[in-house]
Amino acid sequence: MWYWYDRLEAWLAVVLLGATSLTLLASSTARAIGQPFAGGAELAQLLFIWTAVLGADITLRHGGQVRIDALAIRLPLPLQRLVTGLCLVLMLGFLALLVRYGFPLALSNWQRPMGVAGLSYGYITLALPVGASLMIVSLLRRVAAKGIVMSLAPDSEIVEKHS
């Protein structure tokens, strides 16, 4: 099941990035020939935000998030587990807050139009709680698959340590 979930998310991120590029190309071309594409910039913004959210989750799933572990890797294993566990709790707590307050925010913005495109601003604000939900799932999957200590390490580092 996770294989298809991961493939679908990656495919959707690529499609959204391509749609963002095509929207910008169409908008700039239409403007250059004197027929501006009303709402092109807003549509590209919407597509790009969703691309970024999916890309952030894909990056997190592969352990590519920014981390500073110069001190943590020098600690004994039980302390590494404690420090990494604390980081995971803080990350999951923050993501849970984004989910908790993000969905009501998106619903409250549903009637707000986004520029001249006429799209609902709720589509943009919905990216935040949906992305946070996806990241919670990704973090929990990493902990289950790799354990607490290696859950935040990049996949390339995990392969190197086990080789």
Classify residue 120: in a domain, yes or no: yes
Classify residue 48: in a domain, yes or no: yes
pLDDT at residue 156, rounded to an integer: 79
pLDDT tens, position by position, 54-95: 999 999 999 888 777 778 888 898 998 999 999 999 999 999
Classify residue 80: in a domain, yes or no: yes
The chain-wide mean pLDDT, for the chain, equals 90
Q: Hunting for tokens 């991961």 — which residue is that?
A: 6
pTM above 0.85, yes or no: yes
Q: Specify the higher pLDDT residue, 115 or 57.
A: 57
* Residue 6 reports pLDDT greater than 90: yes
pLDDT at residue 141, rounded to an integer: 95
Share of the chain above pLDDT 70, in %: 96
* Residue 49 reports pLDDT greater than 70: yes
Instruction: Tell me which amino acid residue 21 is.
Output: S
* Residue 158 reports pLDDT greater than 80: no
Do residues 137 and 77 make contact, with C-beta atoms less than 8 angstroms apart?
Answer: no
Classify residue 160: in a domain, yes or no: no
SS3 133: helix
Question: Given pLDDT bands bounded at 50, 70 and 90, which one contains residue 102?
Answer: very high
CA angle 85, 132, 155 (to 5 degrees): 55
Domain that holds residue 115: 1-31+38-146
Classify residue 89: in a domain, yes or no: yes
Classify residue 122: in a domain, yes or no: yes
pLDDT at residue 71, rounded to an integer: 80
Q: How far apart are CA 105 and CA 123, in angstroms?
A: 11
Classify residue 125: in a domain, yes or no: yes
Classify residue 159: in a domain, yes or no: no
* Residue 22 reports pLDDT greater than 90: yes
Q: What is the mean pLDDT of residues 135-157?
A: 90
Total number of domains constituting the chain: 1
pLDDT tens, position by position, 33-48: 998 888 888 899 999 9
